[in-house]
Chain A
């Protein structure tokens, strides 16, 4: 089955800097990747997704990069704001298997 590894459990960045959150996965058959954001007292919220036929996808201030060769996924947040403080999860799916979540990275933004 799939396993999802965590690179850093916590990350602190200065307001206005860029943030990069990383994820590694094990199953080369994984074909769908999602980033979620979870704020205190709330459920995870969808941020951005990417399919295995793409290397990069951009949203509003967020970019997801997928490197299938080394099975690595990253989320970049541009001009990080205090409202970005949350726990970020990568979630990965292959075929009809359910989403498997990483352990999460807690992002703290220093004003």
Chain B
């Protein structure tokens, strides 16, 4: 089985811009979760989608949003980027609570 695929792997944006990150889960997995990873805060939960519905949401501002499509692929969007949004954004698909992570999308905000 192919793993979790995240695109793009690296991107640079400037403050005030917006960004969309994409995640293709493992075939057959219907749950997709997103995490933000920074050196200071570690891995922090953003949101989880299951069958196109948001099932859980972390403690992030409304600038962070996501969605899931009927084929289980997911996107997350960050609007009005701030310097503090620079991070590795990790997507994971899951089966029976075990998360399988992609390699992440590294976002740098200048």
Question: In the assembly, what is the distance between CA of A103 and CA of B43, in Å?
Answer: 7
Question: In the assembly, what is the distance between CA of A97 and CA of B4, in Å?
Answer: 22
Given known A-B contacts A41-B103, A49-B98, A98 and B48 have beta carbons under 8 A apart? yes
| Residue B83 interfacial (CB < 8 Å) | no
Task: Determine if A43 and B92 form an interchain contact, defined as CB atoms under 8 angstroms apart.
Answer: yes
| Residue B64 interfacial (CB < 8 Å) | no
Instruction: Closest B residue to A41 by CB, please name it.
Output: B103
Q: How many inter-chain contacts with C-beta < 8 Å in the A-B complex?
A: 47
Task: Determine if A101 and B33 form an interchain contact, defined as CB atoms under 8 angstroms apart.
Answer: no
> Which residues of the partner chain A approach B103 to less than 8 Å between Cβ atoms?
41-43
Given known A-B contacts A102-B42, A103-B42, A104-B42, A44 and B56 have beta carbons under 8 A apart? no
Given known A-B contacts A98-B33, A99-B99, A44 and B90 have beta carbons under 8 A apart? yes
Closest Cβ of chain B: how far from A93's Cβ, in Å?
Answer: 6
Interface residues of B (CB under 8 A from A): 4, 33, 35, 42-45, 48, 55-56, 58, 90, 92, 97-104
